[in-house]
Chains A and B, each alone.
Chain A
Amino acid sequence: MAYELVIGLETHVELNTESKIFCSCGGHSSPQEPNDCVCPACCGMPGMLPVMNKRVVELAATAGLMLNCEINRYTTFDKKNYYYPDLPCAYQITQLNHPICTNGLVKVKTAAGERDIRIKQIHMEEDAGKLVHGGNSSFVDFNRTSVPLIEIVTQPDFRSPEEVVTYLGKLKSMFKSTGISECEEGAMRCDVNISVREEGTEEFGVRSEIKNMSSFEAIDRAIRYEAQRHMDALEFGTEELVQETRRFDDVSGKTFAMRNKETEADYRYFPDPNLMPIVIDDEWLEQIKANKPVALDEKAEAYAEAGISDKEIAMLMSEHTVAKLLDDVIALGCNAKDAASWILTDCAGILRKAGLKLKDLSITAEGLSFLIKLVDSGKLNRGAAKKTLIAVIENGADPEKFVDEQGFLVEIDNSMIESVIDKAIESNPQAVEDYKAGKEKALMAIFGACMKELKGSGDPQVIRAMLIEKLSK
């Protein structure tokens, strides 16, 4: 019999904020020993109250906009009760009734075709701490408690592990390239809801939920194992399927039951009275929309239009700091295609030789645009520009100072240019005549002769203007 896989995902993503969701402790990216990033609030001492970090709302809404969700203007927090030593208050603050985003849509393209994955909701919540086991004891590290998360819940719209992995890859590059999340190891975790039904039927099969996986590879294997287990049960009656929560064991490649419906915890959710409802008014939403980093698809399209190659676009998509550098350099008035090539060919080459990665590129947009403009205007030749880049990348030199110290700037002598122009006019009488007769194109022949003579030095704009002026006399 032919079976169809039905999969829904709950994906937790750590948000890239400077402080935790309800207190002013540093976020997850601060360097830390166990329990050095905690305060009385995030380790559950009495008397402390949660105070909402506005940035979390903005990042969550931004993620929602990127996933084509509706942003709910009225959003509230709920408390979820359960005991575990890594949860200092014995409750987690999360959103149940009024999540910040609902009804989104993501297109997922695999070899089997394109599929619409509906996003049911995105909600904000706090992370729990970490348990470290050693010898006969267990230790609790609260550094991660109250680190802000969003949980993205899809409808059961996936039909294959490929679609799941493609979707997760898409989320990861989307969030990483826009700085919403660093998406480091463990910063993106997934619960997979999976069931199997006869192909062509509408009714869902018995569902398993596989908890807390972070590697895409493990998720892929877990889905394949679980699908097979379900199909065996349906086809050969190997076991009776029950709705339950399972965990995936990476070593054996199998899933194991954790708890079933009967023993499932009742989390006794209720609205958190310590956090007032958040109202996102028009002004705030417009601000969030205006600050939304351009989504990957749109961005890639814009890059392609500017003449940037597919290979270069792929590099830009994987490193949001580099994409930002490029955007900034373009904003400072440089040509997109040239700037991309400076970053992704010249700088990338120097980095490679120095054993560094693209994300280690330390040059500022101002510094890079300064060099590019000098080269464009002929005041700096490419060789000297490359030497400057090496000094900047390897030794942290200041581009402006370095160019100055090294005497790289080519002195432009206007009288020399003038004589070159005169000579070009003299040796191209036909073109001069044509131009004066109104053939604009003829100017290029004379201009080209000038530039050839000047060997690329001098600002083309200035030279062109001087040439036109002379011809108009």
Chain B
Amino acid sequence: MKYYRAKINDKGTIAVDDMVLLKDNLSTAGSHILEGYKPLFSAEAVERLEKNGYEISGKTNVGEFSLDLVGEFSYYNEFEDGETLKGSAAELVAKGEVKAALGVDMNGSTRRAAALSDVAFLKPTYGTVSRYGIISCAASGEQLGVYAKDADTIAEVMTVIAGNDKKDGTSLPDVSYLYDTNADVNSAKVCIVKELYDLADDATKAKLYNYAESLKAQGVEVTEISTDIFSKANTAWQILMCAETCNNVSRYDGVKYGYRSENYRNIDELYVNSRTEGFNFLTKAVILYGSDVLSKSRYADCYDKALKVRRVVADFMKELFSTYSAVLIPACSKTEYAQYDIKDAFTKVYEESVFTAVPNLIGTPALATGGVQLLGDHFAESTLLSLSKIVERKGE
């Protein structure tokens, strides 16, 4: 397995995944269609890190447009036969080769990768970190987040990268945010969602159980709730995500940059052949699905309904967070993924995204930590980080 596209330098402290633009460095979103693409500018988050004295170590692999489980379908990646799947940014952090890594959380691959490698990943509240300079797919829910070993490092990096950016129209007005990892959460109430717990395998169930026990030991009240909102939210998010991705990757047409087929006689063939050869099977499935839900005959039943579900889910979660400080759920159904055929990818990712879709759909924060996941209300990052820290401390 290749961890990175550009060599990690010795002084390096922070890696960025391949959805993030790094000036004059290959930035290809793990896709053949962007082969050789070197951007003219770096992402805003990269700029802010560099301005604050952090050095960018290099780039880590992602699955094509981060659409897969953890990065298994990158055009540039190589897994050994029989090797279990791991996300490269998460692995790099786990091995201590970098202090932290930036990754784009769009359909859960970052949180799944963090859970598998037992590191933490924070997907922040939508609009708090600039999306300028990330290779955009699902603009309404993707958000740049941070991988690190512990809550304090995540808070440190977040303090640098978060805050208003005029170059991003979805960026919220606050110029900076405070990330407190020592907030008083000992009397917090946390709920576990029965339906999601039931979907997990035994090893994952055990992790979740242990995590809940650790929280309880610190005085946190943990209760179980039952709701089917997560699977509904997932369906809605898959519709929006596919539609927006289909639209955003339509610019990769072989005309301006990136991969162009050698086999064409006219503009239509240039489009069709470049895109047929340039995208992998999973991206094509997403494009087809996304194109379908936006078509005239399906828009009202699919896309428009998904927008309505987004509102229902947001209301439901708002209500839930008025009772509970956080929701404790798995980040994925397994503790280990085996290699599989790309033709099954669309369905597999769909199934696994039931654990990750809500924060993408409604813009709330999520923290993958200790192999599980904590969801919080908008701007509740400090609560999530502090909860994870009391569990970290116990482990020390």
Contacts and interface: CB of A to CB of B under 8 A. Distances in A.
Interface of A: 40, 43-52, 79, 81, 83, 85, 88-91, 140, 266, 268-271, 273-276
B166 interface: yes
Nearest to A275: B169
B21 A47 contact: yes
21 contacts: A40-B40, A45-B39, A46-B29, A46-B34, A46-B251, A47-B134, A47-B136, A49-B169, A81-B247, A81-B250, A83-B271, A85-B267, A90-B253, A91-B250, A140-B255, A266-B296, A268-B247, A268-B296, A273-B140, A273-B170, A274-B170
B250 A49 contact: no
Main secondary structure of the interface of B (DSSP, over half): loop
Most buried by B among A43, A48, A273: A273
Given A45-B39, A85-B267, A270-B294, 11 more contacts: A45-B256, A46-B39, A47-B27, A51-B169, A52-B169, A90-B251, A140-B255, A269-B294, A270-B303, A275-B169, A276-B169
A46 B136 contact: yes
Contacts of A88: 251, 255-256
B168 interface: yes
B242 to A, nearest CB: 12
Contacts of B40: 40, 45
B294 A268 contact: yes
B244 interface: yes
Nearest to A77: B169
B133 interface: yes
Nearest to B20: A47
A47 B169 contact: no
B247 A49 contact: no
Nearest to A264: B296
B169 A85 contact: no
Interface string B28-67: 0100001001011101000000000000000000000000
B132 interface: yes
B243 interface: yes
A139 to B, nearest CB: 11
Nearest to B139: A273
Most buried by A among B169, B244, B303: B169
Nearest to B127: A276
A81 B253 CA distance: 13
A274 B169 contact: yes
B131 interface: yes
Contact of B132 (A47, A89, A90, A273): A47
Most buried by A among B39, B132, B253, B257: B253
B135 interface: yes
Contacts of B133: 47
B167 interface: yes
Contacts of B250: 81, 83, 89-91
